[in-house]
Structure 1
Amino acid sequence: MSEDQAQAPQSAQANPLLRPWQTPFETPPFAEIAPEMFLPAFEQAFADHAAEVAAITHDPAQADFDNTITALERSGKLLTRVSSVFYALVSAHSNPALLEADKEVSLRMARHWNPIMMNAVLFGRIAQLHEKRATLGLTAEQLRLLERTYTRFHRAGAGLDEAAKVRMAEINERLAHLGTTFSHHLLADEQEWFMELGEADREGLSDSFVAAARAAAEERGLPGKAIVTLSRSFVEPFLKTSPRRDLREKLYKAFIARGDNGNANDNTATIVEILALREESARLLGYPTFAAYRLEDSMAKTPQAVRGLLERVWKPARERTLRDRDGLQEMIVAEGGNFALAAWDWRYYAEKLRQMKANFDDAAIKPYLSLDHMIEAAFDCAARLFGLSFEERKDVPVWHPDVRVWEVRDRDGKHTALFYGDYFARPSKRSGAWMTSLRDQQKLDGEVAPVILNVCNFSKGADGEPSLLSPDDARTLFHEFGHGLHGMLSDVVYPSLSGTSVFTDFVELPSQLYEHWQEQPQVLRQFARHYQTGEPLPDDLLRRFIAARKFNQGFATVEFVASALLDLEFHTQPASASADVHAFESRELEKIGMPAEIAMRHRPQQFGHIFSGDHYASGYYSYMWSEVMDADAFGAFEEAGNIFDPAVAKRLHDDIYSSGGSRDPEEAYVAFRGREPEPDALLRRRGLLETSEAA
Structure 2
Amino acid sequence: MSNPLLKKFTTYNETAPFSQIKTKHFKPAFIEGIKNAKAEIDAITNNTNVPTFENTIEALEFSGQQLNRISSIFFNLNSAETTDDIQQIAQEISPLLTEFSNDITLNEVLFKRVKLVYQIKDDLNLTPEQDMLLTNKYKSFVRNGANLNEDQKTELRKIDTELSKLKLKFGENVLAETHDFELHLTNKSQLSGLPEGTIEAAELTAKQKEKDGWVFTLDYPSYVPFMTYADDRNLRKQLAIAFGAKAFRNNKNDNQQIVLDIANLRYKRANLLGYKSHAHFVLEERMAETPENVISFLNDLLVKAKPAAIEEFNKIETLAKKDSINHLEKWDSAYYSEKLKKELFDLEEEKLKPYFKLENVIEGVFQISKKLYDLQFEEITTIEKYHEEVKTYKVTDTSGNYVSILYADFFPRKGKRNGAWMTSFKNQWKKDNENSRPHISIVCNFTKPTKTKPSLLTFNEVTTLFHEFGHALHGMLANTTYPSLSGTSVFWDFVELPSQIFENWCYQKDALNLFAKHYETNELIPMELIDKIKKSSNFLEGMQTLRQLSFGILDMDWHSKNPSEIKNVKTFETASFKNTQLFSDVKENCMSTSFSHIFQGGYSSGYYSYKWAEVLDADAFSLFLEKGIFDKETALKFKANILEKGGTVKPMDLYTKFRGQKPTNEALLKRAGLLK
TM-score range, shorter chain: over 0.9
For 1:518-597, list aligned pairs within 5 A: 518-590=506-578, 592-597=579-584
Structure 2 equivalent of residue 504 of structure 1:
492
Quote the Cα distance in structure 1 between the aligned partners of 2:317 and 2:238: 21
Structure 2 equivalent of residue 278 of structure 1:
266
Contact 1:631 1:682 in 2 (8 A): yes
Quote the Cα distance in structure 2 between the aligned partners of 1:552 and 1:66: 54
Contact 2:99 2:161 in 1 (8 A): yes
Q: Tell me the CA shift for residue 405 of structure 1.
A: 0.4
Structure 2 equivalent of residue 316 of structure 1:
304
Structure 2 equivalent of residue 687 of structure 1:
673
TM-score (normalised: structure 1) = 0.95
- 2:372 corresponds to 1:408: no
SS of 1:504's equivalent in the other structure is coil
Structure 1 equivalent of residue 606 of structure 2:
619
SS of 1:453's equivalent in the other structure is strand
Q: Tell me the CA shift for residue 21 of structure 1.
A: 2.2
- 2:437 corresponds to 1:437: no
Structure 2 equivalent of residue 300 of structure 1:
288
Q: Tell me the CA shift for residue 225 of structure 1.
A: 4.1
Contact 2:496 2:610 in 1 (8 A): yes
Structure 2 equivalent of residue 459 of structure 1:
447
Letter matched to residue 269 of structure 1: Q
Quote the Cα distance in structure 2 between the aligned partners of 1:49 and 1:466: 47
Out of 191, 199, 203, which is 2:192 matched to? Answer: 203
Quote the Cα distance in structure 1 between the aligned partners of 2:274 and 2:369: 45
Residue-by-residue CA offset, 1:429-466 (whole Å, 9 max, x unaligned): 01111111111111123221110000001121111631
Q: Tell me the CA shift for residue 72 of structure 1.
A: 0.8
- 2:334 corresponds to 1:341: no
Quote the Cα distance in structure 1 between the aligned partners of 2:209 and 2:581: 41
Residue-by-residue CA offset, 1:131-187 (whole Å, 9 max, x unaligned): 111110111111111111111111111111111111000000000000001000001
Quote the Cα distance in structure 1 between the aligned partners of 2:203 and 2:672: 35
Out of 233, 242, 247, which is 2:230 matched to? Answer: 242
Structure 2 equivalent of residue 25 of structure 1:
13
Contact 2:509 2:530 in 1 (8 A): yes
Contact 2:430 2:480 in 1 (8 A): yes
Contact 2:570 2:590 in 1 (8 A): no
Structure 2 equivalent of residue 217 of structure 1:
206
Structure 1 equivalent of residue 37 of structure 2:
49
Contact 1:403 1:422 in 2 (8 A): yes
Structure 2 equivalent of residue 4 of structure 1:
none
SS of 2:329's equivalent in the other structure is coil
Structure 1 equivalent of residue 641 of structure 2:
655
Structure 1 equivalent of residue 144 of structure 2:
156
Quote the Cα distance in structure 1 between the aligned partners of 2:580 and 2:413: 37
SS of 1:505's equivalent in the other structure is coil
Contact 1:377 1:518 in 2 (8 A): no
Structure 2 equivalent of residue 373 of structure 1:
360
Q: Tell me the CA shift for residue 319 of structure 1.
A: 1.4
Out of 380, 391, 398, which is 2:385 matched to? Answer: 398
Q: Tell me the CA shift for residue 680 of structure 1.
A: 2.1
Residue-by-residue CA offset, 1:329-382 (whole Å, 9 max, x unaligned): 2222233x1441111101111111110111111111011111111111111111
Contact 1:559 1:599 in 2 (8 A): no
- 2:647 corresponds to 1:667: no
Q: Tell me the CA shift for residue 602 of structure 1.
A: 8.4
Q: Tell me the CA shift for residue 534 of structure 1.
A: 1.2
Quote the Cα distance in structure 1 between the aligned partners of 2:36 and 2:590: 40
Residue-by-residue CA offset, 1:299-341 (whole Å, 9 max, x unaligned): 0000011111111111232212211222222222233x14411
Deviates more, 1:461-470 or 1:394-403: 461-470
Letter matched to residue 13 of structure 2: F
**Structure 1 residues 561 and 222, CA, compared in 2 at 3 Å: closer, same or farther?**
farther
Letter matched to residue 158 of structure 1: A
Out of 408, 412, 419, which is 1:425 matched to? Answer: 412
Structure 2 equivalent of residue 693 of structure 1:
none
Residue-by-residue CA offset, 1:566-592 (whole Å, 9 max, x unaligned): 0001111211233311110111222x2
SS of 2:95's equivalent in the other structure is helix
Out of 159, 178, 196, which is 2:166 matched to? Answer: 178
Structure 1 equivalent of residue 461 of structure 2:
473
Quote the Cα distance in structure 2 between the aligned partners of 1:223 and 1:140: 62
* Percent of residue pairs identical: 37
Contact 1:378 1:518 in 2 (8 A): no
**Structure 1 residues 598 and 499, CA, compared in 2 at 3 Å: closer, same or farther?**
farther
Contact 2:193 2:229 in 1 (8 A): yes
Contact 2:367 2:514 in 1 (8 A): no
Contact 2:313 2:543 in 1 (8 A): no
Residue-by-residue CA offset, 1:366-424 (whole Å, 9 max, x unaligned): 11111111111111111000100000001211011110001000121111100000010
Letter matched to residue 264 of structure 1: K
Structure 2 equivalent of residue 363 of structure 1:
350
How many residues are matched? 673
Contact 2:507 2:533 in 1 (8 A): no
SS of 1:407's equivalent in the other structure is strand
**Structure 1 residues 460 and 599, CA, compared in 2 at 3 Å: closer, same or farther?**
farther
Letter matched to residue 675 of structure 2: L
Quote the Cα distance in structure 2 between the aligned partners of 1:359 and 1:598: 32
Q: Tell me the CA shift for residue 74 of structure 1.
A: 1.6
Quote the Cα distance in structure 2 between the aligned partners of 1:68 and 1:161: 23
Contact 2:30 2:70 in 1 (8 A): yes
TM-score (normalised: structure 2) = 0.97
SS of 2:423's equivalent in the other structure is strand
- 2:619 corresponds to 1:632: yes
Contact 2:206 2:213 in 1 (8 A): yes
Letter matched to residue 328 of structure 2: L
Structure 2 equivalent of residue 610 of structure 1:
598
Out of 463, 467, 488, which is 2:476 matched to? Answer: 488
- 2:94 corresponds to 1:106: yes
Q: Tell me the CA shift for residue 207 of structure 1.
A: 1.6
Deviates more, 1:179-188 or 1:542-551: 542-551
Structure 2 equivalent of residue 132 of structure 1:
120
Letter matched to residue 64 of structure 1: T
Residue-by-residue CA offset, 1:486-524 (whole Å, 9 max, x unaligned): 010000011111100001000001110111112211111
SS of 1:75's equivalent in the other structure is coil
Quote the Cα distance in structure 2 between the aligned partners of 1:177 and 1:681: 42
Residue-by-residue CA offset, 1:74-94 (whole Å, 9 max, x unaligned): 210110111111011100001
Quote the Cα distance in structure 1 between the aligned partners of 2:486 and 2:590: 30
Contact 1:130 1:150 in 2 (8 A): yes
SS of 1:480's equivalent in the other structure is helix
Deviates more, 1:203-212 or 1:47-56: 203-212
Out of 368, 372, 375, which is 1:388 matched to? Answer: 375
Quote the Cα distance in structure 2 between the aligned partners of 1:128 and 1:216: 61
Deviates more, 1:629-638 or 1:678-687: 678-687
Letter matched to residue 360 of structure 1: L
Quote the Cα distance in structure 2 between the aligned partners of 1:602 and 1:262: 12
Contact 2:248 2:590 in 1 (8 A): no
For 1:70-149, list aligned pairs within 5 A: 70-149=58-137
- 2:631 corresponds to 1:645: yes
Residue-by-residue CA offset, 1:462-492 (whole Å, 9 max, x unaligned): 1163111111110000000000000100000
Structure 2 equivalent of residue 63 of structure 1:
51
